[in-house]
Each structure stands twice: as structure tokens, then as C-alpha cells.
């Protein structure tokens, strides 16, 4: 039972952290663009890489839950 609770807490925490980082990245885009003298196309890569990181880690999370949850 402890393992299931730990998995629930871990997955919930990761979900909250992702939502927080997505919000922070989107709010900070204008400041990042100005500080780095980046074009809109260049700064769009920040959002793209955030989505790619999520796409890579989501299947790993499913695998981990399947492996540890039983």
C-alpha cells in the first residue's frame, strides 16, 4: 500500500511541476526574448523543447508506474 501511495504522490507532484514550468515558460517568453535578443522563431524553440521533454518523459512515467505499482 505504501508503494501505491508513493507512486500517487510522485505522479501528482510531477504533474504539478510540469504545469508550473509550462506556465512559467509562457509568462517569461517576452523577457527571455528581450534578454537574448532572439527572434520569435528562435524563442518558440523554448516552448517546443518543453513539449518534447514532456513527450519523452510521459511514456517513461507509465512504464515506471506499471513496474512499481504492482
pLDDT tens, position by position, 12-65? 888 888 888 888 888 999 999 999 999 999 999 988 988 898 888 888 877 877
Distances (CA, A) of 32 to 6, 18, 22, 49: 36, 19, 14, 15
pTM above 0.85, yes or no: no
Q: Which residues span the domain enclosing 32?
A: 28-54
Residue 44 lies in a domain: yes
For position 70, what pLDDT does the model report? 63
Cα–Cα distance, 53 to 70 (Å, whole number): 27
Residue 33 lies in a domain: yes
For position 1, what pLDDT does the model report? 64
Cα–Cα distance, 43 to 19 (Å, whole number): 19
Residue 61 lies in a domain: no
pLDDT band at 8 (very low <50, low <70, confident <90, very high): confident
pLDDT band at 7 (very low <50, low <70, confident <90, very high): confident
Amino acid at each position: 500500500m505504501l508503494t501505491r501511495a508513493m507512486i500517487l504522490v510522485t505522479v501528482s507532484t510531477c504533474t504539478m511541476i510540469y504545469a508550473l514550468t509550462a506556465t512559467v515558460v509562457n509568462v517569461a517568453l517576452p523577457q527571455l526574448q528581450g534578454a537574448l535578443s532572439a527572434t520569435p522563431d528562435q524563442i518558440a524553440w523554448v516552448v517546443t523543447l518543453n513539449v518534447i521533454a514532456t513527450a519523452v518523459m510521459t511514456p517513461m512515467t507509465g512504464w515506471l508506474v506499471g513496474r512499481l505499482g504492482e
